[in-house]
Structure 1
Amino acid sequence: MITGSIVALVTPMHADGQVDWDGLDRLVEFHIKQGTDSIVAVGTTGESATLSTEEHCDVIGRVVKVAAGRRPIIAGTGANSTSEAIELTQEAKKLGADACLLVTPYYNKPPQRGLIKHHEAIAASVDIPQILYNVPGRTACDMLPETVAALADIEQIVGIKEATGDMDRARQLIDLVGDRMAVYSGDDETAYQLMLMGGKGNISVTANVAPALMHQLCMLALDGQADEAKALNERLMQLHKSMFCEANPIPVKWALKRMGLMDRGIRLPLVELDERFYPKVELALANLELI
């Protein structure tokens, strides 16, 4: 089982929007050295929505190659088309990914029975560990706990990233499926609470810029050290919030550029961080001595 601090890795780009492959290599090495427990390649934060299929697969392959077995690699392979999700998941397996993260189909708003059939089809087509990903604020589709429970006995489905930030939902999920699959947080501000309830880790945006601190936070929460985890999370709260002052990954990519870790590129229709947010992000980084 993959546990701990799991970074939702950005895809570094040059100013012209082309993927910065050397920058990607450096980021993977940075995370390994800083203690990140696992890496998600080409999730939401990795701009999966604007990479071509070829680029998407190339980024997965590159991250797997550079990590070279030193960390588990989770490939983002979700799509709003079941056939496309199957193809991406098959390719991720060929490229050597350890697991796949499958976002709930977006835009077309399938009913719950459609979600069940969607994930059943992917699991039947590809024998690789699969993590469900529920983020209704982006997808306009909420995978209900009862639906997760209906999928929990499928061998290939090993976890869910629950990104609502709703602790009542988290508790319900852990009670329903926690003995059959891993429940991961997808909300940095509340992640430690979910782990204290029995969750297994945090798939994190904040970990892009503060990997060592996020690893420490996860270890405290997983060890049940509630007071210490809460105190560290309070230190990190300003950074958590600043990473969403505009749509993710706009702030986190600007922060990484400000830290000197990559170039400034981002792909349309996303644009670089609005100048009025520079002080907010800089202050959050400075207060944690990240710049």
Structure 2
Amino acid sequence: MIAKSGSNQESNPMFQGVYTAIITPFKNDKIDYDSYFKLLEKQIKAGVSGVVPCGTTGESPTLSHSEHAELIRETVKAVQGKIQVVAGTGSNSTKEAIELTEAACKDGVDGILSVNPYYNKPTQEGLFQHFKSIAEHSTVPVMLYNIPGRTSVNLLPETVLRLSEVKQIRSMKEATGDLGQMGKLISLVGNKMTVLSGDDNLTLPLLAIGGVGVVSVISNLFPKVLVQLVESFQQGKISEAKKIHYDFIEVFALAFMETNPIPIKAAMCWFGHCGPEIRLPLTPLSQNETSSKFKKVLEGLKEKGYE
């Protein structure tokens, strides 16, 4: 789904709906494109708004530059414009992020996702200048990505307000887990930018305060479910949206029992969507009582007909 901006950048789309932070399947330490293309087809059939290749869930930190560029190109070619491709092009080096962004734009993506610089912990002014520089080199809309738990820096609402005046910055993936901050963000920039949840478990709560969708991990396995949740809410079918939320609330938690994307990649393997390979420094999901419970809960949801 795409909505048009009501600001002075009316020609640019703003993102809403369900965007799947898609995994990267590996086979013999190479990208398994046969499995990957099947995953993309599953997403298209489910009616998601788009996919996000080369994000954290796609193990982007372990992809080489050539793999990163190739994966984005192959994604664009495979979806054939049926859904949007919002490519992960973030880095803690502004120069590198610009290079990745320019390459993705040339390959025909619909948008780029740019994460907070990690490890070097810039100030709010540094964050502003970083994202401003990236946006100025982008020919497609930019979705900011705030995830302090992984980056150690929090992109504050006041800084996002400044960034909302920058051409191409049209959306925000919010993964602070702080609904108070999200509410303040929407109150400041909701007429200029869309705000999407970066946490599956907060999709419904964020929709309730003005969010417009989710960049989802769980939709790798259950894309139709997330689409139904968001669309039910948008159509005023609140009880239906709540039922899905509560049916999946345990899965939303168990999917993060270990570092993402370890659990979701294991789940995708269990259901035959990819092999078990994951790249170091991540390791396969621990085999214990919790992982066994995760598998059992997923099987139960599949038996109920959820897809």
TM-score calculated relative to the size of structure 1 = 0.97
Unaligned 5+ runs, structure 1: none
The question of 1:90 aligning with 2:110 is answered no
Q: Find 1:100's aligned residue among 102, 112, 131.
A: 112
The question of 1:282 aligning with 2:295 is answered yes
Distance 1:2 1:160 in 2: 9
Distance 2:299 2:230 in 1: 22
| Mean Cα deviation higher: 135-144 or 224-233 | 224-233
Q: CA deviation at 1:228?
A: 2.4
Q: 3-state SS of the aligned residue for 2:62?
A: coil
Q: 3-state SS of the aligned residue for 1:132?
A: strand
Q: Find 1:63's aligned residue among 68, 71, 75.
A: 75
Which residues in structure 2 correspond to 1:203-282 (within 5 Å)? Answer: 203-276=215-288, 277-282=290-295
**Cα deviation digits, residues 29-79 of structure 1 (max 9, x gap):** 011112222100111100011101110111111111110000011000000
**Cα deviation digits, residues 208-246 of structure 1 (max 9, x gap):** 111111110111223343332122100011111111011
Give the corresponding residue for 2:41. 29
Q: CA deviation at 1:280?
A: 2.0
Q: 3-state SS of the aligned residue for 1:272?
A: coil
Structure 1 residues 129 and 59, CA gap change in structure 2 (3 angstroms): same
Distance 1:269 1:143 in 2: 27
Q: Find 2:50's aligned residue among 30, 34, 38.
A: 38
Contact 2:105 2:140 in 1 (8 A): yes
Unaligned 5+ runs, structure 2: 1-13
Q: CA deviation at 1:11?
A: 0.5
Counterpart residue type for residue 170 of structure 1: M
Give the corresponding residue for 2:212. 200
Contact 1:115 1:143 in 2 (8 A): yes
Aligned residues: 290
Contact 1:253 1:264 in 2 (8 A): yes
Q: Find 1:145's aligned residue among 134, 140, 157.
A: 157
Q: CA deviation at 1:166?
A: 1.4
| Mean Cα deviation higher: 173-182 or 119-128 | 119-128
Give the corresponding residue for 2:11. none
Distance 2:51 2:145 in 1: 15
Distance 1:227 1:19 in 2: 41
Contact 1:188 1:204 in 2 (8 A): yes
Contact 1:2 1:72 in 2 (8 A): no
Distance 1:259 1:62 in 2: 24
Q: Find 1:135's aligned residue among 135, 144, 147.
A: 147
Distance 2:235 2:132 in 1: 34
Q: 3-state SS of the aligned residue for 2:95?
A: helix
The question of 1:164 aligning with 2:215 is answered no
Distance 1:135 1:121 in 2: 20
**Cα deviation digits, residues 164-183 of structure 1 (max 9, x gap):** 12111111111000000011
- Seq. identity, %: 43
TM-score calculated relative to the size of structure 2 = 0.92
Give the corresponding residue for 1:7. 20
The question of 1:18 aligning with 2:7 is answered no
Contact 2:195 2:213 in 1 (8 A): yes
Q: CA deviation at 1:23?
A: 1.0
Distance 1:111 1:224 in 2: 41
- When the two chains are superposed, the root-mean-square deviation of aligned CA atoms in Å is 1.2
Q: 3-state SS of the aligned residue for 1:288?
A: helix
Contact 1:196 1:226 in 2 (8 A): no
**Cα deviation digits, residues 235-291 of structure 1 (max 9, x gap):** 011111111011000000000000001111110000111011431221221121169
Q: 3-state SS of the aligned residue for 1:175?
A: helix
Give the corresponding residue for 2:7. none
The question of 1:183 aligning with 2:195 is answered yes
Distance 1:81 1:225 in 2: 44
